Structure 1
Amino acid sequence: MMVHFPIGLLFVALILELIDWKRKSARLRDAVNIMTWIGVASAALSVTFGLLLSDAEQSQGETFEIHRWAGFITLGLAILATISLRNANRNIYRSLLFVTVFGVSLAGHYGAMITHGDDYLTSVMPSSVEPEQEQSNEDPADFVLTNNGALNPQQVQDLNVEVRTILAHNCYSCHGEAKSKGDLRLDSKDAIMKGGENGVVVVPDHPDKSEIIRRISLPKGDKEAMPTKGKRLTEREIKVLKYWVEKGALWPDGKQKSIYRVAALEPRMPVLPAASGDIVLPVDRLVNAYFQKNKIAWKPAVNDRIYIRRVYLDIIGLLPPPEKVEAFVADERPDKRELLAKELLNRSDDYAQHWMSFWNDALRNDYSGTGYITGGRFDITKWLYSSLQVNKPYNWFVKELISPVKGSEGFIKGIKWRGTINSSQRTEMQAAQNVSQIFLGLNLKCASCHDSFISDWKLADSYAFANIFADTLLEINRCDKPTGTIAGTKMLFPELGEISVNASTEKRLRELADFLVQPKDGRLYRTAVNRVWAQLLGRGIVEPVDMMDNMPWSEDLLDWLSSDFVANGYDMKKLIYTIVTSRTYQLPSSSVKEAADIMANDYKFTGMVRRRLTAEQFSDAISTAFNPMYADSAIVYKLLPKDIKKRLPFARAAFVKNDPFQTSLGRPNRETVSTSRTSQANLLQALELTNGSKFTNTLKEGSKIWKEKYPTSDSLVTALYQNALGRTPLAKELAAAKRILGPAPNEESIQDLVWAIALVPEFQLIY
């Protein structure tokens, strides 16, 4: 925000100056003067902070050099304009102000190219030609492009799957079970052949007479073109549908092959590739096979300073103390990284305090909010902390949540909302949705209202699963309308076991818990492993992490990790150790321009995805590097174990109620399951960090202490860099910081310096 602030001020000053040129208003001239002075002062600060940011990864290359020199020249012009204004030379001032605004615009343009890419303007412009989607070479229905003869039974099946896939992804939302515009459904053979209120849409053997083909072939913008919303069908998709109609709109009888990928339920232990050189650990051997297949070269491991900071933040959520960093760098033992990982994992309280946030998000556990005041919601904080602190085996962790023990009941009870709610949000359905999402990586929300059009799950499946949690059998509601049908009671995956329909709710929950945690439920353990991998490396082996039927980028790696997890007694810490001591974890991080790039189907793993500190990590980092963000009184002590006070090193953000500062940095409200947080910066975060009272007050209070503790600029800057970044400042960083502080640091200048360092990517990101 500070970097872009002068653009607006100087531009406004120019507009007001042009208006004043015509109107000659003294009041307007005063406003112009104020705007100019503030704009120039802000520009000077921008250049200063830009120097501090110049060591960031993106601060290099031709674009950066143009941006930097444009900034310097613009600042010089702005100063000259201010001098002209002060000397009352209005004509020269106007000319210089005009050139200054042009310079600011130029600098801003190249700055945007640095942060958003060279195509940041053109990427959002509409294109007259829609690019064709890249097609896989392994598409089972590619024969439609070449085969003009009769189809064999397998080709008929493959063609049908592709046709239903196209219809599901493009048409079901308007012409399916949940909604049937024009009384037309396209989700079954009978419905398609029946047509809608305007007649038949498919005429077998005659694509030229089929209304559906005419509609999807119309140009974009035509009022009759289909789909009416979203992306248009590709040329290939249109060709497949035409080919299908030409061949008689073939639709095989009997059970149809799913159009969706369904991951195997049972576990699988893949054969490990042979070790090679220093590629000896199982994780690395499996990743090496992936690298070889995708022609990706191994990069050298990160240096000791990056590794210790990364592993500290990932395991216990804290910055490493400066003395620990220096000792680790000086340590010459070859196994020092393994020893460090063990040391951190043995810090059970620090480990639990950090991982509380991850599990609070996933389990909808919070300290205040909807339901707590009215008694319609109960926290599980004490149970959760104790479970993490003792490293409770994951199978028991899951069992005690589903078949609750004292202290864990709040999870399965869900939230009793005040007032009228829809049927898909009754507590039994919440329990079904939460258990399936958290533990099985399966989204039932769509299928809780109607048959899903993003998976094979049906409304009846959701209600049958919800009945396990219900005291009385539920009537199926379709789109919130009663159907008169009472749902059955069964597991989502019946092969895991059969629920006793007439048993008490308590017994059914015990059965469900026992069935789910069986070693043969590979899905449960793949889901857990995938979540931990995503937490440590910024992207899951499967993405999104709640859609475990999606294709993993390495199926062997996921299967091996989950099988090893079970073989090692469902030990979460052992799983984390296996990952963080691998060479794979120690690869240099990579960045992505857009959050969507992480989810791309063509994603290629090359190492950890660079991540922004979470709200809790950022708050704790400020607390340890400079000054506590939260007072001891902010901790929710009454919800925690009685002796927690002596276990907490300071008021950690994981144990305070959510506030605007935490929210701006991405902490969710936890009224719904949240299994991932975005790592992208946003405007709310920028505003809170620049103008928010919480951060500002923390800096004010801390500056008083630091002023007394570090009377000289050199000592203060060195201590701050060591605390915040784990290193001493470079000569140019020290010089820039001393220019901010002046010869004798005062409270305001200390605040400015801390604020600047807190915004440096090296502080905000996990590299």
Structure 2
Amino acid sequence: MPIQRGCIIALIVFLVCSLHPALLLESFAQSAAPAAEAETFWLWKFLGRLHPLAVHFPVSLLLFAAVLELFTIRQYQSKLRPGINLLVYIGAVSALIAAGLGLLLFSQEEYGGDVLAVHQWTGIATAFLSIITLSFLLMIERQHQVSFVKAYRGILFFTAFGVSVAGHYGASLTHGSDYLTSVLPFSKDYEGAPASTGNFNFTSLKSDTTRLSEQQEMDLNGQVRAIFAHNCYSCHSAEKIKGELRLDKKRMALKGGKSGAVIIPGDPYKSELVRRISLPHNHKEVMPGKGKKLSEHEIELISFWIEKGAPWPDNADQKSVFRVAKLEPRMPALPAASNALQNPIDLWVNKYFEAKKAAWPEVVDDRTYLRRIYLDIIGLVPAPEELQAFAQDTRPDKRAQWVRTLLNRNDDYAMHWLTFWNDALRNDYTGTGYITNGRYNITDWLYTSLKTNKNYNQFVKELISPTKESKGFIAGIKWRGTINASQRTEMQAAQNVAQVFLGLNLKCASCHDSFISDWKLKDAYAFANIFADTTLEINRCDKPTGKFASTKILWQELGSIDSTAPTAKKLQQLAENLTQPKNGRLYRTIVNRVWAQMLGRGIVEPVDAMDNEPWSQDLLDWMASDFVSKNYDLKELIYQIATSKTYQLPSVGIKDANKIIAQDFEFKGMLRRRMAAEQFADAVSNVIEPVFPDSAVVYNPFKNANAEEGEQPEFIFARASLVKNNSFLTALGRPNRETVSTGRESRANLLQALELTNGDRLNEVLKKGAENWKNKYTNSEDLINELYKRALNRGPEPKELKAAKEVLGSSPSTEGIQDLFWAVVLLPEFQLIY
């Protein structure tokens, strides 16, 4: 198959691959620095916003045409033909218009994400296919090419399918991904499905007339209040009191609202609250009025609570309905060591496995382990010579020795982990803000910090209380400006520090009291005041309140902040207070992030929600305390993880991404994951052809005056972590870094299919590599063996060798070599970290 594919084939491949996203992979970047943002002409925005209106027209017309076409299968020239033709004519033209308006909307508004990518490209493909459908129809009708009837019908039905897919994902953007599935009884999103009720089981107590114990009352009240918090507080709490009813405090909840009491203790049938939550979903009086209707199980739980007298212990209001992780560090005593297990991580995992009655699998082989540590520690695929040396190493601790060797490759280590920190710290080499000098690059500081393995506590201090070189994380936030009162630059800085270093989401609490945690609006403003030159007025949902918060850290036990001090002094105090050893949350957060980076899933997940339940609290606590005791050394943390038997277990594939963040997640080993875009780019460059983008494309950290004179990089090609951001990289999964990004989606998306099957960048690299390999290898078998050793760290299997020879022939051509390269780099064995 020639490497230069036609547009039609590419679009069909991309649609087929939409059914198998796991086959795709992030590729690498081409340079195309985005232009500075300009003021948008109002007409373009107006036209773009006509897309949701216009898009429904071709959907209905093309679907109706396809349905009617089914009735003409036996006789093409039926009485329905004029109507079908008209539907196809108008549908094809309107599909093009809708696609154009959609692209205009995308270019003028701030949309993004995988769902958008699927919607966008299926929409474009459908518009393209509708024109092909129309072309065949015109040839049949005007040129009487009857032989095209089957092709016309096939493409029409395929177009109808495509427009349905595009429409579904468009609805997902506006109504949520579970919009359709939530009404299906067999769906996990079913609106009537029982909700989780924690540890309290009231089913067995329904017919029991005895009084609940004090602990049962506390547990029952906690679960009812959790339902209130997630479903009712948006209208009935201190932030918003609709109908004069509040459900967040005992006295106010039992008092009721404007129409009187809504809870009659002991009588759920007379309680207005039960009546309201039991009404049909579309009833005008149903509660909650916004969002999903309560499940039957939740309604039963509230009814049972009222039947039991609506118990609300006096001290219950002081008890959080949300899980709150402890702040202080904890060093649990290690389980006893055994001959087979010495690494402390393994001792804790062994205890976890015993509790789950799970057995230890056998560790992976040398080849798998070597590729794993190379990609995780320095981001590169090992060379054939390195694999051979590893195989011949007879030292009993050779795996630990090789991990140490990789960690000592300082340049490669820094280049690889630069990507991780660039995402988290919003550091990029170009983009909005650099032209206006409102954004600051911290690459020199970051690269040097990683290369010298700066202690993490000092690393954090220099970002929060910055030097001139590291101010981009705090001061660089100002390039975004004041979006609204709740998103002013000081608040954005507070949100970013909380998210990156403390695993805490303050975004809800920046506008109103949070409905997903105990953090209040005044807490967020008090923290934001540390980053402000003056005390900020509290704005609730962008409305001034006339109130002002004090200046303090989120956890007052970490210390105080002098509100009268200059901003630089306040930031210094914050940096010192946050990095104290007693701030267990700071060190649990970084341990969890590194664990997630190397094993595919955090001990706590999501990694930005550190109040969630870890699958092993003891393991997390011990690792965080050990990290502090070892002088905050990130390389030592990586070494301990990489040398554990736990890390060496076979990888685990999970088809349903929702199970990864599920509360009942069970750890069985490293999650199988794809290479990141930068890793894939470096692997292809290293194996096929070294890439040397020009100096305008690549950021050069070696120009820094702090670098030693004459110092040169240890790598022979430009690492992808240095490539400036562009539309190609963004499409393949690299975030735009205008906001904090602490994790990348490991599943492929449809846009990547186009890049891997017909992308210019990949094709050019493979073509150039093929030309060079053709000059070097005249024997097909030698070329095939070398490619497999470099790319997959093994020789080809007999059937692979036979198939490859058939592609190359006796005298390899550039096109044949290029096709073989393409086939190998798209193999899951090459793409995935097993």
TM-score normalised by L of structure 2: 0.76
CA gap of 1:719–1:132, structure 2 versus 1, over 3 A, is same
Which of 569, 578, 598 is residue 631 of structure 2 equivalent to? 569
Give the CA deviation at 1:447: 0.5
Q: CA deviation at 1:375?
A: 1.5
CA distance in 2, matches of 1:420, 1:431: 12
Equivalence for 1:407: 469
Q: What is the match of residue 635 of structure 1?
A: 698
| TM alignment of 1:537-552, pairs within 5 A | 537-552=599-614
Give the Cα separation in 2 of the matches to 1:126 and 1:732: 49
- Over 3 Å counting, the alpha-carbon distance change for 1:532 and 1:132 in structure 2 is same
Aligned equivalent of 2:460, options 395, 398, 414: 398
- The change in CA–CA distance for 1:461 and 1:99 in structure 2 (over 3 A counts) is closer
Task: Tell me, yes or no, if structure 1 residue 431 matches structure 2 residue 460.
Answer: no
Query: Is 1:674 aligned to residue 759 of structure 2?
Result: no
CA distance in 2, matches of 1:280, 1:386: 34
| 2: CA distance, partners of 1:452 / 1:7 | 41
- Kept in 2, the 8 Å contact 1:273–1:289? The answer is yes
Match of 1:49? Answer: none
SS in 1 for 2:547: strand
Q: Give the direction of change, closer, same or farther, for the CA distance of 1:420–1:607 in structure 2 (3 Å limit).
A: closer
| CA distance in 1: counterparts of 2:238 and 2:692, whole angstroms | 51
Q: Is the 8 A contact 2:195 2:297 kept in 1?
A: no
Distance 1:627 1:378, change over 3 A: same
Distance 2:481 2:616 in 1: 46
Which residues in structure 2 correspond to 1:368-387 (within 5 Å)?
368-387=430-449
| Shift in alpha-carbon separation, 1:338–1:99, aligned structure 2, 3 A | same
Question: Does residue 500 in structure 1 map to residue 567 in structure 2?
Answer: no
Moved more, 614-623 or 733-742: 733-742
CA shift, 1:514, in A, is 0.9
Which one of the candidate residues 660, 670, 690 is aligned to 1:608? 670
> What secondary structure does 1:273 align onto?
coil
Partner of residue 831 from structure 2, selected from 757, 764, 767: 764
Name the counterpart of 2:805: 738
Alignment of 1:24-423 (within 5 A): 126-128=183-185, 130=190, 132-133=193-194, 138-139=199-200, 145=206, 147-177=208-238, 184-193=245-254, 195=256, 200-218=261-279, 224-227=285-288, 231-253=292-314, 255-417=317-479, 421-423=483-485
- Decide whether the 8 Å contact of 1:266 with 1:521 is kept in 2: yes
Preserved contact between residue 361 and residue 649 of structure 2 (Cα < 8 Å): yes
Which one of 675, 690, 706 corresponds to residue 773 of structure 2?
706
Q: Deviations over 1:27-77 (max 9, x none)?
A: x9xxxxxxxxxxxxxxxxxxxxxxxxxxxxxxxxxxxxxxxxxxxxxxxxx
Report 1:450-489 matches (<5 A).
Answer: 450-489=512-551
Relative to structure 1, the CA distance from residue 555 to residue 140 in structure 2 (aligned partners, 3 Å threshold; closer, same or farther) is: farther
Higher relative contact order (CA 8 A, sep 6+): 2
More off after superposition, 673-682 vs 139-148? 139-148
- Given that 2:595 and 2:602 are in contact with CA atoms closer than 8 Å, whether structure 1 keeps it comes out as yes
Runs of 4+ in 1 over 6 A off after TM superposition: 1-4, 6-9, 15-20, 90-102, 140-143
Residue 801 of structure 2 is aligned to residue 724 of structure 1: no
The alignment yields a C-alpha RMSD, in angstroms, of 3.5
Provide the rounded CA distance (Å) in 2 between the counterparts of 1:516 and 1:417.
Answer: 26
SS across alignment from 2:546: strand
Aligned-partner residue type, residue 211 of structure 2: A
Q: How far has the Cα of 1:589 moved from its partner?
A: 0.2
Moved more, 459-468 or 206-215: 206-215
The SS at the match of 1:476 is: strand
Distance 1:100 1:410 in 2: 52
**Following TM superposition, by how much is the alpha carbon of 1:248 offset from its aligned partner in structure 2, in angstroms?**
3.5
CA deviations on 1:472-495 (whole Å, 9 max, x unpaired) are 111101101110011101111111
* Alignment partner of 1:530 is 2:530: no
Cα gap change, 1:507 to 1:766, in 2 (>3 Å): same
Query: Structure 2 CA distance, aligned partners of 1:725 and 1:713?
Result: 18
Query: Retained in 1: the 8 A contact 2:481–2:488?
Result: no
- Equivalent residue for 1:657? 724
When residues 489 and 631 of structure 1 are mapped into structure 2, their CA distance, relative to the original with a 3 A threshold, is same
Q: In the aligned structure 2, how far is the partner of 1:443 from the partner of 1:99?
A: 50
Q: Distance in 2 between matches of 1:312 and 1:396?
A: 27
* Partner Cα separation in structure 2 for residue 670 and residue 583 of structure 1: 35
Deviations 1:99-143 (A, max 9, x none): 9999xxxxxxxxxxxxxxxxxxxx959534657548678438788
State the shift of 1:20 in Å: 10
State how far apart, in whole Å, the 2-side matches of 1:268 and 1:613 are.
34
How far apart, in 1, do the equivalents of 2:503 and 2:584 lie?
A: 12
Change (3 A) 1:199 1:95: same
User: Aligned partners of 1:183 and 1:651: how far apart in 2?
Assistant: 64
CA contact (8 A) 1:636 1:656 kept: yes
Percent of aligned positions that are identical: 58
Unaligned runs of 5+ residues in structure 2 are 1-8, 18-64, 86-144, 158-179
Output aligned runs, 1:589-628, within 5 Å: 589-628=651-690
**Aligned with 1:685 (options 752, 772, 778):** 752
CA distance in structure 2 between the aligned counterparts of 1:7 and 1:576, rounded to whole angstroms: 40
SS of residue paired to 1:717: helix
Query: Which deviates more from structure 2 when the two are superposed, residues 243-252 or residues 229-238?
Result: 229-238
Residue of structure 2 equivalent to 1:42? none
Paired residue secondary structure (1:266)? coil
Closer/same/farther in 2, CA of residues 756 and 586 from structure 1, 3 Å limit: same
138-147 or 661-670, larger mean C-alpha shift? 138-147
Distance 1:198 1:651, change over 3 A: farther
- Aligned-residue offset at 1:586: 0.1
Higher mean alpha-carbon deviation, 172-181 vs 357-366, is at 172-181
CA drift of 1:436 comes to 1.0
Contact 2:481–2:489 (8 Å) recurs in 1:
no
Q: Is the 8 A contact 2:589 2:607 kept in 1?
A: yes
- Pick which of 296-305 and 151-160 moved more: 151-160
Q: How far 1:675 sits from its partner (Å)?
A: 0.7
Report the equivalent of 1:78: none
Which residue identity is paired with 1:202?
Answer: I
SS at match of 1:477: strand
Instruction: Say yes or no: does 1:449 pair with 2:511.
Output: yes
Is 1:442–1:546's contact at 8 Å kept on the other side of the alignment?
A: yes
* Structure 1 counterpart of 2:493, one-letter code: A
Change (3 A) 1:551 1:94: same
How far 1:426 moved relative to its partner? 1.5
- The aligned amino acid for 1:732 is K
TM-aligned CA distance change 1:4 to 1:406, over 3 Å? same
Q: Is the 1:382–1:641 contact (alpha carbons within 8 Å) kept by the matching residues of 2? A: yes
Given the superposition, is the C-alpha separation of residues 100 and 474 from structure 1 closer, same or farther in structure 2, using an over 3 Å criterion? closer
The 1:726/1:638 distance shift into structure 2, 3 A limit, reads closer
Cα separation, partners in 2 of 1:197 and 1:707, compared to 1, 3 Å? farther
Give the match for residue 116 of structure 1.
none
The CA deviation at 1:294 is: 0.5
Match of 2:761 in 1: 694
Residues 265 and 125 of structure 1, relative CA distance in 2, 3 Å threshold? closer
